[in-house]
Amino acid sequence: MGSIMSIDANNNNLLSVLDGYTLDNSDDITRLVAEEFRKRRVEKNITRKRISELSGVPLSTVARFEQKGLIAFESLVKLAMALGYTSEIKHLFAASKFDTMEELDLIRQKSGDKRAYVKNKNK
C-alpha cells in the first residue's frame, strides 16, 4: 500500500509541475506575472504603498495589477525598474525566436530591416 501512496504523491507532484507550464492564454500569463511581481515585492519587504512611491505608479494601479493582472505596459516597466528588474524588462524581446528552419532563414534575412513587407506574389 505504501507504493500506491508513493505513486499518487508522484502523480500529484507531476501534475502540479505541469500546471505551471500550461500557460497558453493571455489571462493566465498576466496573472502569473502579477503573482511573481507580488512575490518579489514581498521578498524585498516593500509595501504596495512604497513600490508606488518608488515607481511613480498609482497605488490603485499596483493593487489592480496584483489582484487582476491588469496594467498598462509603461506602468509595468516602471514597477519592474523599481524592483530592480530593468535588464529583464529591457530584454523582453531581445532574442529572436523561431519554430521552423524557414522562420530562422527569414530572421537572418530580415535582421537589419526596420519594417515588415508583404511578399509580392506577382513577381
Residues 31-56 pLDDT 10s? 999 999 999 999 999 999 999 999 99
Give domain limits for the chain. Answer: 2-91
Whether pTM > 0.85 for this model: the answer is no
C-alpha 123: how far from chain center: 41
The tens digit of pLDDT for each residue in 102-111 reads: 888 888 888 8
How many Cα neighbours within 13 Å face the side chain of 69?
11
Which amino acid type is present at position 59?
L
Q: Residues for the chain: how many in total?
A: 123
The tens digit of pLDDT for each residue in 68-93 reads: 999 999 999 999 999 999 999 999 98
The torsion defined by the Cα of 68, 72, 73 and 74, in degrees rounded to 10, comes to -130
Backbone angles phi, psi at 100, to 5 degrees: -130, 165
State residue 114's pLDDT score: 80
CATH number of 2-91: 1.10.260.40
Report yes or no: 78 and 117 within 8 Å, Cβ to Cβ. no
| Helix ranges restricted to H, the chain | 2-19, 26-43, 48-55, 59-68, 73-82, 86-90, 101-110
